[in-house]
Amino acid sequence: MSMFEITPSATSGATGTLDYYHSLTSQLTALTAGEADIIANLANISAVLFEHIDNINWIGFYIMKHGELVLGPFQGKVACVRIPVGQGVCGTAVATGAVQRVENVHDFAGHIACDAASESELVLPIKHQGKVVAVLDIDSPNQNRFSKLDQQGFELMLPLLESLNWHSIWKPHAE
């Protein structure tokens, strides 16, 4: 059995620099290469990011199914299972198609508090064939945790995230 190991020493650059995010993205690409199962890949991606991003209390994916977001692989405390489009930070990311960087979640009208410890949040929509198929949600117990540079760093991961096998789980149509 081979163990894929990501260690801080194998990750170049200081935590939080673009170099660091570049290095994490390369390692996530290697980790998921050759594996078609998207749930396995999303689970491992959330595990790596939870371990190697400082000062976060929750990270994971919500996946669009039949017109609403449904909880996917994550690391952190038990979370809300379903989020309607347009509600909360995650639902706003889907409705607008834009990254949501919220310095203080208490100032965000409609923020959904899954973990009361969360103070700031970054949500990136993941698109496939022009539609939002999922979001990556990252929560921090610190206000102002995510800078523009952190946003750019996570955006480096989008080509990889968007290349995953979304067809196997994305349910675009209401039933």
Min CB(138)–ligand SME separation in Å:
9
Tabulate helix, strand, coil % of the chain (nearest 5): 35, 25, 40
**Which residue, among 60, 66, 107, 69, has the nearest Cα to 87 in the 3D structure?**
69
Residue from the set 118, 136, 145, 153 that interacts with ligand SME by CB under 6 A: 118
Min CB(40)–ligand SME separation in Å:
21
**Pairing of β 120-128 and β 100-102:** antiparallel
Min CB(90)–ligand SME separation in Å:
3
Q: Which of residues 7-66 bind ligand SME (CB under 6 A)?
A: 58
Min CB(21)–ligand SME separation in Å:
21
Min CB(156)–ligand SME separation in Å:
22
**Which residue, among 51, 140, 91, has the nearest Cα to 100 in the 3D structure?**
91
Q: Which residue is nearest to ligand SME (CB)?
A: 88
Q: Which stretch binds ligand SME (CB under 6 A): 13-21, 24-32, 86-94, 167-175?
A: 86-94
Containing H/E element for 10?
Answer: none
Q: Does 88 engage in binding with ligand SME (CB under 6 A)?
A: yes
Smaller CB separation from ligand SME, 103 or 165: 103
- Write the DSSP assignment of 65-119 as a string of letters: ETTEEEEEEEEES---SEEETTSHHHHHHHHH-S-EEES-GGGSTT---SSTT--
Residue from the set 24, 49, 53, 114 that interacts with ligand SME by CB under 6 A: 114
Q: Does 99 engage in binding with ligand SME (CB under 6 A)?
A: no
Evaluated on CA atoms 51, 53, 57, 59, the torsion sign reads negative
Contact of 85 with 93, CB cutoff 8 Å: no
Smaller CB separation from ligand SME, 26 or 47: 47
Residues 6+ apart with CB under 8 A from 18: 149, 152, 153, 156
Q: Which residues bind ligand SME (CB under 6 A)?
A: 58, 79-80, 83, 88-90, 111-112, 114, 118, 121, 137, 139
